[in-house]
């Protein structure tokens, strides 16, 4: 169930309270992705983000990671379903910074404004998905919920169709999308043609059997 954007109330903890909460969190960790509290009160840790992208993303090749790289080394493709990435972040990192870091990690050239980070949580035997505010802090949400992804997980999605910032797409990106759509359309047409050709072959074979002199 998708719900409207909401902001998680941020409770400011004392250094001692924060230390106890992080110790409790780390005692429940089963994958070694623990949190660390620094002397300045900032803590670091890991979050996992599931990629649920419906539209193709544009990725730079290894030769095009410099600023002066030619645009023809960028490739648009669909990301496989269920892809999960792990990020090491701090308690000061916002949702917007997490999205930018995630895209940068995998050389995604798309404008970060195209994407939104969602939290998925369980409440009263139901699963809720809620879009997070750009200024929220994902590591704080992870700490409060505990390490179990069944209780809270993060999902990267595109903005809803009505929220798409089309001006954020470059002309090469839009052209790549059109090429991908054309290919998908041709593939689907070929599948339909093969299906009807197989149907026609069976009908013609049956018809020959009926008309065959006995």
Give the tens place of pLDDT for each residue, 193-204: 988 998 888 888
Query: What end-to-end distance do the CA atoms of the chain give, in Å?
Result: 64
Alpha carbon 196 to chain centroid, angstroms: 37
Q: Is the pLDDT of residue 68 over 60?
A: no
Lowest mean pLDDT among 29-38, 48-57, 72-81: 72-81
Q: Per DSSP, which regions of 159-202 are E strands?
A: none
pLDDT of residue 64: 46
* Confidence check: pLDDT of 12 > 50: yes
pLDDT at 99: 94
Residues of the chain above pLDDT 70, percent: 81
State residue 70's pLDDT score. 44
pLDDT band at 4 (very low <50, low <70, confident <90, very high): very low
Q: How far apart are CA 129 and CA 126, in angstroms?
A: 10
- The per-residue pLDDT for 160 is 66
Q: Which residues contact 156 (CB under 8 A, 6 or more apart)?
A: 49, 50, 51, 52, 53, 99, 102, 115, 116, 117, 118
Residue-wise pLDDT for 117-129, tens only, equals 999 987 777 888 8
Please provide the average confidence, as pLDDT, over all residues in the chain: 81
Q: How confident is the model at residue 213 (pLDDT cuts 50, 70, 90)?
A: low
Please tell me the predicted confidence (pLDDT) of residue 67: 46
Model confidence at 161, in pLDDT bands (50, 70, 90)?
low
Q: What is the pLDDT of residues 174-189, one digit of tens each?
A: 777 677 778 778 888 8
Q: Tell me yes or no: is domain 15-56+74-161 CATH 3.10.20.90.
A: yes
pLDDT at 3 over 50: no
Contacts 24+ apart (CB under 8 A), 17-26: 18/43, 21/143, 22/143, 25/143, 25/146, 25/147
| Cα 129 to Cα 133: distance, rounded to the nearest angstrom | 13
């Amino acid at each position: 169930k998708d719900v409207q954007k909401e902001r998680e109330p941020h409770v400011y903890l004392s250094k001692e309270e924060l230390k106890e909460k992080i110790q409790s969190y780390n005692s429940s960790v089963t994958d070694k992705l623990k949190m660390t509290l620094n002397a300045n009160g900032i803590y670091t840790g890991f979050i996992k983000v599931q990629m649920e992208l419906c539209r193709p993303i544009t990725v730079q090749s290894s030769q095009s990671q410099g600023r002066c790289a030619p645009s023809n080394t960028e490739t648009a493709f669909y990301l496989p379903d269920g892809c999960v990435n792990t990020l090491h972040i701090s308690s000061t990192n916002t949702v917007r910074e997490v999205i930018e870091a995630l895209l940068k990690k995998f050389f995604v050239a798309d404008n970060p404004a195209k994407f939104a980070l969602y939290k998925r949580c369980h409440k009263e035997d139901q699963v809720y998905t809620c879009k997070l505010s750009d200024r929220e802090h994902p590591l704080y949400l992870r700490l409060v919920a505990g390490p179990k992804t069944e209780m809270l997980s993060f999902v990267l999605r595109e903005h809803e169709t009505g929220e798409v910032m089309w001006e954020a797409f470059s002309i090469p990106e839009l052209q790549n999308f059109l090429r991908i759509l054309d290919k998908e359309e041709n593939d689907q047409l070929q599948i339909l043609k093969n299906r009807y050709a197989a149907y026609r072959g069976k009908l013609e074979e049956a018809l020959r059997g009926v008309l065959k002199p006995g």
